[in-house]
Amino acid sequence: MHRPFSSHRSAARVVAFALLGALLAAPFTGCKASESTGDAGASAEVVLYASLDDSYSRPFAEAFERDTGIKVKFATDSEATKTTGLVTRLISERARPRCDVFWNNEIVQTILLKNEGVLEPFSSPNAADIPEAYKDPDGYWVGFGARARVIIYNTEMVTGTPPATFEALVDPAWKGKATLARPLNGTTASHIAVLWHAWGKDRVKALFDGLFANDVRISAGNAQVMMQVAQGSIPWGFTDTDDFHVALLDGKPVDLVFPDADGAGTLLLPNTVCKIKGGPNPANAQKLIDYILRRETEAMLAKGRSAQIPVRDGIARPTGLKGLDAMKVMPVDWNAVGAVFPTSHEWLKERLRGK
């Protein structure tokens, strides 16, 4: 029975080789180069789009190639357009798909792709021990290796009690002292969609009025939030646990808070993998999906600089996230959030125009 939680970019080449070594230590048991790829008339290749950072996705692709003999062609997103760029691309390619597998580093926009008819269902034996909460009931996506949305603060600038809730962003006591990633991409866009569903649109709209009145700084992305706090240019902000962990490993004066412990809890966003409908290499796509969903992948992500949180039992959690075992996880109806995402996203684009 799954026990619920009670609850980067520097030295990239070093990270890449370390992660590649970890993957190669757990060889894949699928087909080798000498065996059939299963796609009649197709070359031995597969196309992967990944919003996971290049320093993690590239060594993973290299390990898959080495274990299977299947060449991986892949594209990644920039930090500024994280996830949204590739999602837009996949929708635009829907009539003539070029991609086989999408590794999304979050979940809400994966559901958007499902709703847009871009995905097709699949089944993987390697997903059998993943809790049902992290699997689409219709088989269109599977989640693994999660990140939490957390408060990062500079311990030299915040000497008293640190902020502890999302709505601390609008507390006048913190006026001009907080930052949030531009909420049109990646996990921040997903976070706002979750709040849109949980709180209702009026409360979210009032929140943004309060953000601007409180001089909250809008940063390009979560990594930029982390860097500004770590460098002491602003006391605190919202980011993801992977970015926080990078600052911690680099010896920066930072700490974290898992927010809303006395309320709804902390938002946990898993990676997701999905299969593109009508992709050019369907059999190889299945092999890549099976490879991604190995337990070794979650173990690799947990041990690396990104410190991602396994959703399965029996896989060691990251050691650098103080308070992780006591984290209260916010319950989320992901399909309902996916349904409201287009509305919340369109409203955000208009509200942020010119800011």
> Are both 170 and 39 inside the same structural domain?
no
pLDDT tens digits, 255-289: 999 999 999 999 999 999 999 999 999 999 999 99
Asked whether residue 325 is assigned to any structural domain, the reply reads no
> Are both 35 and 124 inside the same structural domain?
yes
Asked whether residue 158 is assigned to any structural domain, the reply reads yes
> Are both 191 and 312 inside the same structural domain?
no
Give me the pLDDT at residue 39, please.
53
Closest CA to 146 of 332, 16, 345: 332
What residues contact 269, with CB distance under 8 A and at least 6 apart? 106, 107, 108, 146, 147, 148, 149, 187, 190, 191, 240
d(CA 144, CA 271) in angstroms, rounded, equals: 5
pLDDT tens digits, 33-78: 334 444 544 569 999 999 888 888 888 899 999 999 999 998 877 5
Closest CA to 44 of 275, 274, 283, 273: 283
The DSSP bridge partners found for residue 254 are: 154
Phi-psi region of 239 (alpha: psi -120 to 50; beta: other; left: phi over 0): beta
Asked whether residue 307 is assigned to any structural domain, the reply reads yes
**Among 45-54, 73-82, 110-119, 247-256, which stretch is predicted with the lowest mean pLDDT?**
73-82
Closest CA to 194 of 113, 266, 143: 266
> Are both 138 and 171 inside the same structural domain?
no
Closest CA to 191 of 167, 217, 215, 162: 167
Asked whether residue 328 is assigned to any structural domain, the reply reads no
d(CA 34, CA 69) in angstroms, rounded, equals: 8
- Domain around 283: 12-145+270-317
d(CA 226, CA 154) in angstroms, rounded, equals: 10
d(CA 155, CA 235) in angstroms, rounded, equals: 8
> Are both 255 and 311 inside the same structural domain?
no
SS3 state at 250: coil
> Are both 35 and 108 inside the same structural domain?
yes
Q: Would you place residue 310 in the very low, low, confident or very high pLDDT band (cuts 50, 70, 90)?
A: very high
**Average of pLDDT values for 334-353?**
95
Phi/psi at 181 (5° precision): -65, 145
What residues contact 88, with CB distance under 8 A and at least 6 apart? none
> Are both 167 and 281 inside the same structural domain?
no
**Among 84-88, 102-106, 161-165, 172-176, which stretch is predicted with the lowest mean pLDDT?**
84-88
> Are both 184 and 262 inside the same structural domain?
yes
Query: What value does the mean pLDDT of the chain take?
Result: 88
> Are both 16 and 34 inside the same structural domain?
yes
The DSSP-derived string for 131-167 is: -GGGB-TTSS-EEEEEEEEEEEEETTT--SPPP-SGG
Give me the pLDDT at residue 83, please.
62
> Are both 205 and 159 inside the same structural domain?
yes
Asked whether residue 1 is assigned to any structural domain, the reply reads no
Identity of the residue numbered 53: D
Give me the pLDDT at residue 36, please.
40
pLDDT tens digits, 11-29: 433 333 344 344 434 444 3
Asked whether residue 6 is assigned to any structural domain, the reply reads no
Asked whether residue 240 is assigned to any structural domain, the reply reads yes
CA distances from 307 to 61, 149, 152, 265 (A): 19, 13, 15, 20
Percent of the chain with pLDDT over 90: 79
Q: Tokens 């993690």 appear where?
A: 56
d(CA 194, CA 208) in angstroms, rounded, equals: 15
43: domain CATH number is: 3.40.190.10
Does residue 118 carry a pLDDT above 70? yes
Asked whether residue 4 is assigned to any structural domain, the reply reads no
> Are both 66 and 177 inside the same structural domain?
no
> Are both 252 and 303 inside the same structural domain?
no
Structural domain count, the chain: 2
Percent of the chain with pLDDT over 70: 86
Q: Please check whether residue 47 is in contact with residue 281, taking contact to mean a CB–CB distance below 8 angstroms.
A: yes
d(CA 34, CA 57) in angstroms, rounded, equals: 25
To 5 degrees, how large is the angle CA 181–CA 165–CA 187? 30
Does residue 355 carry a pLDDT above 80? no
pLDDT tens digits, 168-221: 999 999 999 999 999 998 899 999 999 999 999 999 999 999 999 999 999 999
